[in-house]
Amino acid sequence: MLEGIEHVALAVSDLDVAIRHHREVWGLEVARRERVEDQGIEEATLPLGAAALQLIAPTSPASTVARFLERRGEGLHHVAYEVADVRAALERLRALGVALVDEEPRRGGGGDLVAFVHPRGNHGLLVELVQRSGDPSA
């Protein structure tokens, strides 16, 4: 069902500061930077081997990432699993009774088709399913 880890997302307060830190300390560079308005965030994608580290910062105090930062401070936010077919994955999860955040896929960063799975009932892990936009079944 899962092709691999597409990215790991770190919630940060200031995107520029976090980008500079990851360049200077870890030698990671930004491949893509983009605002995702319906999530109320700006994200920077830093390739890391076959996957990526994604830095996400709130652009609105109402976004779930802003609330995450208030509650917990900066830290790991979610893991994205790559799937070939996000609709089929949601269907399977629904049949298993797994709690979903998104009942239908939506457009994420880079035009990928994405859907979030609720951490409740998944051992506290917020999962983003990602079907890459280059996928022929998209």
* Structure tokens that stand for 16 in this block: 């520029």
What is the Cα–Cα distance from 65 to 9, expressed in whole angstroms?
Answer: 11
Q: Which residues in the 35-64 window bind a copy of itself by CB under 8 A?
A: 48-51, 53, 55
Contact call for residue 28 and a copy of itself (CB under 8 A)? yes
Pairing of strands 51-58, 4-11: parallel
Pairing of strands 41-48, 51-58: antiparallel
Cβ at position 40, least distance to a copy of itself in Å: 19
Q: Which of the following is catalytic: 54, 77, 82, 131?
A: 54
Closer CB to a copy of itself, residue 46 or residue 113?
46
Among residues 42, 43, 81, 90, the one that binds a copy of itself under rule CB under 8 A:
81
Using DSSP, state whether 58 is helix, strand or coil. strand
